[in-house]
């Protein structure tokens, strides 16, 4: 069963198609890597999927519904789009309490997720002093606040140091073990090869490959397959 179904998605800015007739399915309970060179249309696709951008045409559905029609969406889908999204003058805890209140989630859950992302000690500090890694962890905490079945993560490893990437790998594996559906975009190809079950590769807004990791890379590496499919752009 497809947890996420993208069908004929087109998003146009002026005369340029950022996403060009993209069709792809994300299978429930699997980790899917969403790959493509810079400017390929990955973030635009994810923004259309969660209702922040309106598709020019086509559909992007979660459990057969547009995101905005989901009941209490935070309990179905957790999203990390970038490390922004939080008020720099508020503490990490205050930022999450704002989100929790809107979703009807008790404040005790805020303390739980802060502990899960190992930010408990920094919870009372203002976001303006957070490092990029800490902001990414807070964004992940926000994504799991509603204990969702689906996670949509756009470049969650961006700006993380090796220790942060190792932490993220363990964190995602722990979430995946719970049977969650995870759609993750990243440039960390070696990391993705070891983490994801399925792969979707797009270039210039168009789908160029999709399937299980084995189907897409054969006996080679993800990086080799990616470079061959995208014409060497990374």
Partner 1 sequence: MGALLKSEWRKLIYARAHWGLLIGAILVAGLGTAVSPVILDNPDSGFGLGLEQTQSVDAVYANAISGYFFAIIIGIMLMSGEFRHGTAVATFLTAPKRGTVLATKLAIAAIGGMLVMVIATAAGLTAGWIALSFFPDAASPTNEVFINTLLAAVVSGAILGIVGVALGTLVRNQMLAITGALIYLFVIDPILLALAPDAGKYLPVGLITAMLALDIDAPEFGIDTSAYLPPLTATLVLLGYGAVFATLAIATSLRRDIE
Interacting residue ranges for partner 1, rule: CB under 8 A: 47, 50-54, 67-68, 70, 73-74, 79, 81-82, 84-90, 94-95, 97-99, 101-104, 142
Nearer to partner 1, 175 or 229 (CB): 175
In angstroms, what is the minimal distance from the CB of 4 to partner 1? 15
Span between the terminal Cα atoms of the chain, in Å: 32
Cite the beta strand spans of 71-216 per DSSP E.
77-80, 150-154, 181-185, 198-203, 206-212
**Greatest extent of the chain over all pairs of C-alpha atoms, in Å:** 50
Nearer to partner 1, 15 or 68 (CB): 68
In angstroms, what is the minimal distance from the CB of 74 to partner 1? 6
Nearer to partner 1, 71 or 177 (CB): 71
In angstroms, the CA 198 to CA 210 distance is 8
In angstroms, what is the minimal distance from the CB of 191 to partner 1? 25
In angstroms, the CA 72 to CA 16 distance is 34
> Are 55 and 227 in contact, with CB atoms under 8 Å apart?
no
Nearer to partner 1, 140 or 213 (CB): 140
Which secondary structure element, helix H or strand E, spans residue 6, and what is its range? strand 2-13
> Are 143 and 151 in contact, with CB atoms under 8 Å apart?
yes
DSSP 230: H
Nearer to partner 1, 58 or 85 (CB): 85
In angstroms, what is the minimal distance from the CB of 66 to partner 1? 9
In angstroms, what is the minimal distance from the CB of 90 to partner 1? 5
In angstroms, what is the minimal distance from the CB of 193 to partner 1? 29
Nearer to partner 1, 76 or 169 (CB): 76
CB-CB neighbours of 85 under 10 Å: 14
10 Å CB burial of residue 181 (0-12, 13-18, 19+) is buried
In angstroms, what is the minimal distance from the CB of 98 to partner 1? 5
Nearer to partner 1, 87 or 214 (CB): 87
In angstroms, the CA 47 to CA 33 distance is 16
In sequence order, the β-bridge partners of residue 34 are: 185, 200
């Amino acid at each position: 069963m497809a947890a996420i179904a993208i069908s004929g998605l087109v998003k146009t800015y002026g005369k340029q198609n950022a996403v060009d007739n993209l069709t792809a399915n994300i299978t429930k309970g699997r980790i899917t890597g969403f790959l493509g060179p810079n400017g390929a249309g990955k973030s635009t696709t994810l923004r259309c999927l969660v209702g922040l951008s309106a598709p020019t045409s086509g559909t992007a559905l979660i459990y057969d519904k547009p995101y905005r029609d989901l009941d209490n969406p935070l309990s179905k889908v957790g999203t990390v789009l970038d490390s922004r999204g939080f008020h720099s003058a508020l503490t990490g805890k205050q930022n999450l309490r704002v989100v929790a209140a809107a979703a009807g989630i008790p404040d005790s859950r805020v303390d739980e997720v802060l502990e899960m992302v190992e930010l408990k000690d920094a919870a009372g500090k203002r976001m303006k002093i957070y490092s990029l890694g800490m902001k990414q962890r807070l964004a992940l905490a926000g994504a799991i606040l509603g204990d969702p079945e689906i996670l949509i993560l756009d470049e969650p490893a961006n700006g993380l140091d090796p220790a942060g990437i190792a932490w993220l790998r363990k964190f995602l594996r722990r979430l995946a073990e719970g049977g969650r559906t995870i759609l993750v975009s990243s440039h960390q190809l070696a990391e993705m090869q070891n983490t994801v079950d399925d792969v979707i590769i797009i270039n210039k807004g168009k789908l160029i490959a999709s399937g299980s990791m084995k189907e897409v890379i054969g006996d080679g590496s993800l990086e080799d397959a990616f470079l061959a499919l995208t014409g060497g752009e990374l």
